[in-house]
């Protein structure tokens, strides 16, 4: 039987919700809350100084990615050939489908890892316990912080250094930062006049929101919204229906899986302002949901959400999506 390391179930739920929202929708119904310590404080984590120094001597390092966001970022800097193993959730771009599967987001097959002999196993925020277990089994790991939008550019640079694709990574990171800065310049004047209140529903039953410590909280702010759960000190906390009715947000964003559910046609949902004014929106299916992962594709997701929150800036958004920096990110990120 293959030897496998695995995180405890409660931790698994927390990690999935924190880092890859698309999977948290399928797992949130387990009833587990998710409170994860700040990045860099868990066993197995590395601080930014360590990331800057992490390199592999060989020109073509053998890299394993146990997080879909790392896999996407590696491919966007032209390092797809360096990926020798991925987790079962790595599904984009399509070319990674042929790469050997060496685990899931919360576990790793040690026998397969031993056969592949990777130079580094790449993980993200929330996988620190898995990183510690892998390190204990003599695998070299690198855990990247992906809890903020700004981390995307930094992670591109760290991966570029590791994969010996520094020039490519610098170019992509610069385009991403320039594109994000240009978007904020468009949104900020509109948000200064009115920042609509938003409830971002991670999962409806039990009701879970994007809290203060989530990547999505920053996304909502960038899109010119005010997250009604943005003061809750957790990533994706439980949120009571009473709180939602009391806050009565202008806009509600629901997961794709909530489409067609009858509870939305009943009280207290029908009492909400967003429902009455038909400002309840559903995320696209997981394949087309660009907000789930902190990669270059989040730019398209942010454009989608900004158009919902601030339709008055639609002309500027259209021009922004024609800019050189955005188009470069779209080409490198395959969106």
At residue 61, the pLDDT reads 96
Return the pLDDT at 292: 81
Q: Please report which helix (H) or strand (E) contains residue 65, including its range.
A: strand 63-65
Segments of the chain with pLDDT less than 50? 7-19, 21-45, 47-49
Strand-pairing partners, residue 124, are: 144
Q: What is the pTM of this model?
A: 0.85
Cα dihedral 243/248/249/255 (nearest 10)? 60
pLDDT at res. 247: 98
The CATH homologous superfamily to which domain 175-333 belongs is: Nitrogenase molybdenum iron protein domain (3.40.50.1980)
Given CATH 3.40.50.1980, say whether it is the number of domain 4-8+38-173. Answer: yes
pLDDT, position 276: 97
Question: Do the beta carbons of residue 80 and residue 96 sit within 8 Å?
Answer: yes
| Burial category of 74 from C-beta neighbours within 10 Å (exposed 0-12, middle 13-18, buried 19 and up) | buried
Q: Does residue 284 sit in helix, strand or coil?
A: coil
Q: Where in the chain is the domain with CATH 3.40.50.1980?
A: 4-8+38-173, 175-333
């Amino acid at each position: 039987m293959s030897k496998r390391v695995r995180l405890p179930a409660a931790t698994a739920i927390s990690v999935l919700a924190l880092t890859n929202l698309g999977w948290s929708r399928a797992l949130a119904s387990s009833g587990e809350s998710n409170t994860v310590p700040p990045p860099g404080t868990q066993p197995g984590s590395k601080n930014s100084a360590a990331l800057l120094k992490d390199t592999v001597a060989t020109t073509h390092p053998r890299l394993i990615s146990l997080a879909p966001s790392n896999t996407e970022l590696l491919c966007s800097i032209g390092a797809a050939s360096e990926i020798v193993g991925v987790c079962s959730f790595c599904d984009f771009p399509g070319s990674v489908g042929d790469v050997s599967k060496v685990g899931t987001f919360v576990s790793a097959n040690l026998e397969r890892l031993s056969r592949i002999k990777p130079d580094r196993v790449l993980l993200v925020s929330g996988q620190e316990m898995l990183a510690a277990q892998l390190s204990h089994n003599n695998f070299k790991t690198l855990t990247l912080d992906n809890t903020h939008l700004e981390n995307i550019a930094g992670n591109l640079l760290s991966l570029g250094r590791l994969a010996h694709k520094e020039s490519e990574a610098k170019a992509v990171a610069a385009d991403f930062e320039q594109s994000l800065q240009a978007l904020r310049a468009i949104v900020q004047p509109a948000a200064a006049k009115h920042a609509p209140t938003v409830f971002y529903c991670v999962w409806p039953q039990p009701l879970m929101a994007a809290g203060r410590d989530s990547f999505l909280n920053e996304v909502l702010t960038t899109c010119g919204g005010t997250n009604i759960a943005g003061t809750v000190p957790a990533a994706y906390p439980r949120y009571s229906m009473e709180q939602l009715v009391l806050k009565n947000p202008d806009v509600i964003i629901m997961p794709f899986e909530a489409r067609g559910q009858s509870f939305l046609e009943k009280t207290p949902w029908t009492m909400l302002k967003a429902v009455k004014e038909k400002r309840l929106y559903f995320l696209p299916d997981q394949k087309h949901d660009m907000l789930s992962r902190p990669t270059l594709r989040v730019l398209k997701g942010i454009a989608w959400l900004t158009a919902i929150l601030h339709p008055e800036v639609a002309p500027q958004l259209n021009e922004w999506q024609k800019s050189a920096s955005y188009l470069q990110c779209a080409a490198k990120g395959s969106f």
